[in-house]
Amino acid sequence: MYKARQGRTLEGVCAGIADCFALDPSLVRLAWVAFTAMGGSSIVAYIICAIVIPEEPER
C-alpha cells in the first residue's frame, strides 16, 4: 500500500487505499468523512496514515 502520487487531494492516503483495494477514490473519501462525522477519531488515523504509509515509487 502506497500514498498515491496521481489523483491525490491532501496527502494521497484515500487514493492509495482505493488503489490497493480497486475502489473509486471518491467512495473511500466519502467513507472517511462519514467516519469522521461519527466520532472524529479518523482525523487522527488519517494523520497517522499520512506519516506511516510510504509514497508511491516514481514510474
DSSP annotation of 4: -
> At 3, is the secondary structure helix, strand, or coil?
strand
Cβ proximity of 23 and 12 under 8 Å: no
In eight-state DSSP terms, residue 17 is H
pTM given for the model:
0.79
What tens-digit pLDDT sequence spans the chain (59 residues)?
888 878 778 888 998 999 899 999 999 999 999 988 998 788 888 899 999 999 888 87
Q: What is the rounded radius of gyration, in angstroms, for the C-alpha atoms of the chain?
A: 11
Burial class (CB in 10 A: 0-12, 13-18, 19+), 2: middle
